[in-house]
Amino acid sequence: MKTVLITGCSSGYGLETARHFLAEGWTVVATMRRPREDVLPSSDRLRVLALDVTKPESIAAAIQAAGNIDVLVNNAGIGVVGAFEATPMSTIREVFETNTFGVMAMVQAVVPQFRSRRSGVIVNVTSSVTLAPMPLVAVYTASKVAIEGFTASLAFELEAFDVRVKLVEPGYAPTTRFAENGGARMSGLIPAAYEPFARPIFAAFAKPSAVTTEADVAKAVLRAATDTGSQLRFPAGPDAVALAQMKCAP
């Protein structure tokens, strides 16, 4: 029975991914900044641990408590939408601490056990913003594009130790708590000068032609975790798949 450790399981993609792996018979270590066992099904194959990916001591404690794992899913992330001009550097650093440096720190924490066993999979969850330029998400995009480049390079060096590294690229999922979780962070990031530009963009967000569900992402993460081939990127959701196909078109 294989064990997966998933970050950011309190809601959204992480919560559904934990549920999906449990349903598929895996042992799941579901991590959250503020642990809540009531959001997941009761199971003797489930452990809920506290983890803040921005704090080294929290990472060390969670990895020690989890023991040997077979798959790491770096799902924890925070969002920000707004004009770059109005985004404080403190907010930019906050986004990168979780979305970029938190992922890198988790990878460093698990690589020693994967390398020594010559087995293991790392799945980094990014976003469809890496597939096509999108307005008002420059900071968020930068934090995710950094992980795309990081993952592609890392896959080469860990392949030498039979460790696989994958990317999952979710599309736009309006049913997640992306906006709610980033509400305070995004306050005031659309100055008056940007309002005429931002208004139609937000209107389009409210009526998307195709969307991604949490289940789409959970299924893509499982495919990535169990894929033994050379595929690096796994777009998740019909909108992300369409963007990926456009990107690959000649």
pLDDT at 180 over 70: no
Share of the chain above pLDDT 90, in %: 86
194 is catalytic: no
pLDDT of 29-82, one tens digit each? 999 999 988 899 999 999 999 999 999 999 999 999 999 999 999 999 999 999
Cβ partners under 8 Å of residue 162, min gap 6: 118, 119
Share of the chain above pLDDT 70, in %: 96
Supply the pLDDT for residue 214: 96
pLDDT at 179 over 60: no
- Among the listed residues 13, 140, 172, 194, the single catalytic one is 140
**CATH number for the domain that contains residue 30:** 3.40.50.720
pLDDT of 163-172, one tens digit each? 999 999 999 9
* HEC per residue, the chain: CCEEEECCCCCHHHHHHHHHHHHCCCEEEEEECCCCHHHCCCCCCEEEEECCCCCHHHHHHHHHHHCCCCEEEECCCCCCCCCHHHCCHHHHHHHHHHHHHHHHHHHHHHHHHHHHHCCCEEEEECCHHHCCCCCCCHHHHHHHHHHHHHHHHHHHHHHCCCCEEEEEEECCCCCCCHHHHCHHHHCCCCCHHHHHHHHHHHHHHHCCCCCCCHHHHHHHHHHHHHCCCCCCEEEECHHHHHHHHHHHCC
pTM tops 0.85:
yes
Total number of domains constituting the chain: 1
Kindly indicate the confidence band of residue 177, based on its pLDDT and cuts at 50, 70 and 90.
low
pLDDT at 183 over 80: no
Kindly indicate the confidence band of residue 175, based on its pLDDT and cuts at 50, 70 and 90.
confident
Range of the domain at 219: 3-248
Give the range among 91-105, 133-147, 183-197, 210-224 with minimum mean pLDDT.
183-197
